[in-house]
């Protein structure tokens, strides 16, 4: 393995609580039922696909324009919450593991569905850290399509077979496998049948990437 491509939300840092608050505010305003279980289904899923999942509980249909406006409204609340993030939201375990992987000579990249990736990285003090960032702003198809990881591999000039993808979402493991990458899963991603390595914790990467 020459390079490691990390998912952002749920791997490097945790923004689910902010996604939840912002979607809940939108759902409540529109009288649509939303809870933490539905929020869990939004892991690794793009903003518009997340909205479609939320609208499964709506009692009317929404036009494309209304959907665009709803997604923009949710994102505005979410971005307000992201402003509260700081380097304190990056754990010592993640920071020390990333530093050690860099010392070992691996190229390190991000592969995230989020269009807010660059802002989040900046907030947690990793704005300049990665060799490349592939995110929701440079893809047309979201996970489980492999596009976001294939772009990350292209940006760092490596073949998928030489890269490890680290993911917390089943859709992310599916994307990695479809793209010809090996994968390391955290949390629910360990349950995906095609995951290559199951991690108990982020620092376990140091046992795989020697």
Binding ligand B16 by CB under 6 A: which of 3, 4, 5, 42?
A: 42
The nearer residue to ligand B16, 8 or 109, going by C-beta atoms, is 8
CA distance linking residue 67 with residue 73, whole number of Å: 10
Binding ligand B16 by CB under 6 A: which of 4, 24, 27, 46?
A: 46
Q: Which of 156, 190, 162, 160 is nearest to 176 (CA)?
A: 160
Q: Identify the active-site residue in 9, 16, 28, 145.
A: 9
Q: Which does 134 bind (CB under 5 to 8 A by kind): Mg ion, ligand B16, none?
A: none
**List of residues 6+ apart from 104 with CB closer than 8 A:** 209, 210
Q: Which does 116 bind (CB under 5 to 8 A by kind): ligand B16, Mg ion, none?
A: ligand B16
CB of 86 to ligand B16, least distance (A): 18
**List of residues 6+ apart from 164 with CB closer than 8 A:** 1, 3, 4, 5, 181, 182, 183, 184, 196, 197, 208, 209
183 binds ligand B16 (CB under 6 A): no
CB of 143 to ligand B16, least distance (A): 6
User: Is residue 92 annotated as part of the catalytic site, yes or no?
Assistant: no
Binding ligand B16 by CB under 6 A: which of 13, 95, 136, 197?
A: 136
The nearer residue to ligand B16, 9 or 158, going by C-beta atoms, is 9
The nearer residue to ligand B16, 75 or 77, going by C-beta atoms, is 75
CB of 9 to ligand B16, least distance (A): 4
The nearer residue to Mg ion, 32 or 148, going by C-beta atoms, is 148
Q: Max CA-CA distance within the chain?
A: 54
Positions that interact with ligand B16 (CB under 6 A): 7-10, 19, 42-47, 50, 75, 112-116, 136, 169
Which residues contribute to the annotated binding site for Mg(2+)? 7, 9, 167-168
Active site (catalytic) residues: 7, 9
């Amino acid at each position: 393995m020459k390079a490691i491509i990390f998912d952002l939300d749920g791997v490097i840092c945790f923004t689910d609580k902010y996604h939840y608050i912002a979607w809940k505010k939108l759902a409540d305003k529109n009288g649509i039922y939303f809870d933490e279980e539905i929020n869990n289904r939004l892991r690794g899923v793009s903003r518009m696909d997340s909205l479609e999942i939320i609208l499964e509980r709506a009692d009317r249909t929404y036009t494309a324009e209304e959907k665009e406006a709803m997604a923009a409204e949710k994102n505005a609340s979410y971005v307000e919450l992201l402003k509260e993030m700081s380097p304190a939201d990056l754990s010592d375990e993640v920071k020390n593991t990333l530093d050690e992987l860099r010392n070992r000579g691996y190229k390190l990249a991000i592969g995230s569905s989020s269009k807010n990736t660059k802002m989040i990285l900046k907030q947690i003090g990793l704005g300049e850290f990665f060799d490349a960032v592939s995110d929701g702003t440079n893809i047309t198809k979201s996970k489980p399509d492999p596009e976001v990881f294939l772009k990350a591999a292209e940006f760092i000039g490596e073949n998928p077979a030489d890269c490890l993808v680290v993911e917390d979402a089943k859709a992310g493991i599916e994307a990695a496998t479809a793209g010809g990458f090996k994968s390391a899963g955290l949390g629910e991603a360990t349950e995906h049948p095609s995951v290559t390595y199951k991690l108990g914790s982020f620092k376990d990467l140091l046992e795989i990437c020697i």
